[in-house]
Structure 1
């Protein structure tokens, strides 16, 4: 079931994931995404499965960003 809090949480997390205007490097963005996922679970907005999924998506995005950075050098 999706509550307004859950929709808002997923929206905030997704915005952080894809917003290139935020001046964060790959590591900072990854850390912030993990903090958000942990906070959402701690607040009871998402369950452990949803948290794990967010972390997996953040990890893939981080890996791609770091790989792109390495390839540019």
Structure 2
């Protein structure tokens, strides 16, 4: 049960990370990714190391979105 919940939560996180900027504002997407990572850590689904990796990944998603946005 625990492993299934962890896999489902991580899959949902990755799906959100892969959404393009037409679906979500990049800052909103980043915030939602961080909230989801926080919730998974608080529920004990992921370790602090896994949480840090998700936060790094969220930052990478945000940075890539910012590079795509014409400035």
Both proteins in one fold, TM over 0.5: yes
| Structure 2, unpaired ranges of 5+ | none
Q: Per-residue displacement from partner, 1:17-60 (whole Å, max 9, x unpaired)?
A: 11238731100000000000000000010010000000001101
RMSD: 1.7
Normalising to structure 1: TM-score of the pair?
A: 0.86
Q: Which has the higher contact order (CA 8 A, sep 6+)?
A: 2
Normalising to structure 2: TM-score of the pair?
A: 0.89
| Structure 1, unpaired ranges of 5+ | none
Trace 1:1-73 onto structure 2 (pairs within 5 A): 3-20=3-20, 23-69=23-69, 72-73=70-71
Tell me, what secondary structure is at the counterpart of 2:54?
A: helix
